[in-house]
C-alpha cells in the first residue's frame, strides 16, 4: 500500500445498485422506528439503524454505493466501521491508514465505555439537530462527532503515557476537522459539537454528559499559568456559538452560556450567562429538560434585553 493511501474494504465494489427514486427519509418499512430514550446505550440498535440507512441510501444513490459498502456495510460492528472511517479521514503520507485503523480498533475493543459513548453521541446528534438526516449521516459526515471519537482514542493514549502519539493524533484532528481538543481533556458522553468548526478545548478542561457546544467555542486558560487552569462544564450544559469560557471556572449542571459571551466567573446550575463580560441571569423556572438536550438558545432573551422585534 502506498503511504497515506486510504484503506479499502474487500471487496471494495459491490454489485451496482439499481437506480430508483429516492425513498422518504427514515422510511418505516426500511429503517427501524426511533429508539426510546431509556435504551440510549444500546450500541447494537444504533448499528442496525445505521446499516438499514446505508442500504437504503446505496439503493437510492448508486454513486455512493461503493463508499457505503466499504465504510459501513462490509463491517460487522459500529466500532469497526468507525475505526475504518476515522483511519481514512485522518491518514496522511506519514501517518498510515493501516496504523490508525489498528490503533482505533484496539482502543475501541479494550474500552467498552468509549464504544458506548460513541453510540450516545450518535443518539444526541439525531435527537438534538434537526438537520441530522439519520445516524449514518452523522457517522459519515459530522466532523464534530468524528473529532470527539478521535479525541477519545487520543485520551486513552494519553492515559497510557503514549503522549507523543496522542499529541500527533490531536494535531491531525485539528488539521482535518478544525477541532482542537487536548488529549488530556476529559469528555463525557452524549456530546454534540454542532457544526464544530473552531472548537478549542484545553488540557485540564472537563466536559460532562449530555452537553451541546456550538461552533467557535473556546474552553481556554487565562495566561501562562500551569496546573488546573481550564473550565469545568457540568452535565446538560448548552454553550452557544462563539462563546469563550476562560480559566478554572465551573459551569453548573443545566446552565446555559449565550452566543458570543465571554465567561470569567462560575455559572451556577440552571442559570444563564450572557454578554461580554458575561453577567448572570436567572434560569427558566420549572424547566425539566436540560438546555444541552433541549437546545433552547433564546428563552433568556426577555430577562436580558428590552429589545423587541
Q: What is the pLDDT of residues 207-232, one digit of tens each?
A: 999 999 999 999 999 988 889 999 99
Identify the DSSP state of 38.
Answer: G
* pLDDT for position 11: 45
Over residues 235-272, the pLDDT tens digits come to: 999 999 999 999 999 999 999 999 999 999 999 999 99
**Which pLDDT band holds residue 24 (cuts at 50, 70, 90)?**
very low
Which ranges in the chain are annotated with CATH 1.10.3130.10? 36-178
The pLDDT of 27-43, averaged and rounded, is 48
Ranges 32-41, 82-91, 153-162: which has the least confidence:
32-41
Confidence band, pLDDT 50/70/90 cuts, at residue 119? very high
- Domain 198-309 carries which CATH code? 2.160.10.10
Question: Which of the pair, 13 or 110, is modelled with greater confidence?
Answer: 110
Question: CB-hemisphere CA count at 13 Å for 81?
Answer: 27
Q: Please state, in angstroms and rounded to a whole number, the distance separating the CA atoms of residues 146 and 83.
A: 10
What was the pLDDT predicted at 295? 87
| Residue 147 to residue 164: CA distance in whole angstroms | 18
Q: How far is CA 47 from CA 32, 115, 122, 160, 170, in A?
A: 11, 11, 10, 29, 27
pLDDT at 287: 63
E strand residue ranges, 113-204: 180-181, 186-187, 192-194, 200-201
And the C-alpha cell for 47?
Answer: 448499528
Give whichever of 22-26, 36-40, 96-100, 290-294 has the largest mean pLDDT: 96-100
Mean pLDDT of the chain: 86
The pTM for the full model equals: 0.84
Q: How confident is the model over 166-192, as pLDDT tens digits?
A: 999 999 999 999 999 999 999 999 999
Distances 42 to 35, 91, 119, 133, 240 between C-alpha atoms, Å: 9, 30, 7, 20, 29
**What number does CATH give the domain 36-178?**
1.10.3130.10
pLDDT over 50 (residue 201): yes
Give ranges for CATH 2.160.10.10 in the chain.
Answer: 198-309
The closest of 134, 136, 114 to 126, measured between CA atoms, is 134
Q: What percent of the chain has pLDDT over 70?
A: 82
Give the pLDDT score at 284. Answer: 60
Rounded Cα gap, residues 134 and 18, in angstroms? 22
Share of the chain above pLDDT 90, in %: 75
Residues 6 or more apart in contact with residue 272 via CB below 8 angstroms: 255, 256, 257, 258, 280, 281, 282, 283, 300, 303, 304
Does residue 67 surpass a pLDDT of 90? Answer: yes
| Separation of first and last alpha carbons in the chain | 60
Is the pLDDT confidence value at 200 over 70? yes
Q: Which of 36-50, 54-68, 156-170, 285-299 shows the lowest mean pLDDT across its residues?
A: 36-50
Amino acid at each position: 500500500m502506498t503511504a497515506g493511501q486510504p484503506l479499502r474494504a474487500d471487496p471494495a465494489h459491490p454489485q451496482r445498485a439499481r437506480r430508483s427514486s429516492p425513498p422518504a427519509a427514515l422510511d418505516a418499512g426500511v429503517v427501524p422506528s426511533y429508539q426510546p430514550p431509556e435504551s440510549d446505550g444500546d450500541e447494537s440498535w444504533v448499528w442496525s439503524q445505521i446499516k438499514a440507512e446505508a442500504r437504503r441510501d446505496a439503493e437510492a444513490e448508486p454513486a455512493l454505493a461503493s463508499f457505503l459498502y466499504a465504510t459501513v456495510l462490509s463491517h460487522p460492528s459500529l466500532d469497526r466501521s468507525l475505526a475504518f472511517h476515522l483511519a481514512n479521514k485522518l491518514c496522511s503520507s506519514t501517518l498510515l491508514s493501516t496504523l490508525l485503523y489498528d490503533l482505533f480498533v484496539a482502543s475501541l475493543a479494550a474500552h467498552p465505555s468509549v464504544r458506548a459513548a460513541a453510540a450516545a453521541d450518535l443518539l444526541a446528534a439525531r435527537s438534538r439537530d434537526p438537520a441530522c438526516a439519520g445516524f449514518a449521516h452523522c457517522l459519515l459526515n459530522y466532523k464534530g462527532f468524528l473529532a470527539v471519537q478521535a479525541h477519545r482514542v487520543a485520551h486513552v493514549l494519553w492515559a497510557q503515557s503514549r503522549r507523543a502519539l496522542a499529541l500527533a493524533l490531536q494535531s491531525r484532528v485539528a488539521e482535518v476537522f478544525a477541532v482542537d481538543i487536548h488529549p488530556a481533556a476529559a469528555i463525557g458522553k452524549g456530546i454534540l459539537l454542532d457544526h464544530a468548526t473552531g472548537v478549542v478545548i484545553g488540557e485540564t478542561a472537563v466536559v460532562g454528559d449530555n452537553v451541546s457546544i456550538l461552533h467557535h467555542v473556546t474552553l481556554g486558560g487565562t495566561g501562562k499559568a500551569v496546573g488546573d487552569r481550564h473550565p469545568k462544564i457540568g452535565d446538560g450544559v448548552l454553550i452557544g456559538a462563539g462563546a469563550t469560557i476562560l480559566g478554572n471556572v465551573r459551569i453548573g449542571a443545566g446552565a446555559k452560556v449565550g452566543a458570543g459571551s465571554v465567561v470569567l466567573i462560575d455559572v451556577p446550575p440552571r442559570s444563564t450567562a450572557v454578554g461580554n463580560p458575561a453577567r448572570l441571569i436567572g434560569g427558566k423556572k420549572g424547566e425539566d429538560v436540560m438546555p444541552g438536550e433541549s437546545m433552547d438558545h433564546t428563552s433568556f432573551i426577555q430577562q436580558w434585553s428590552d429589545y423587541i422585534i
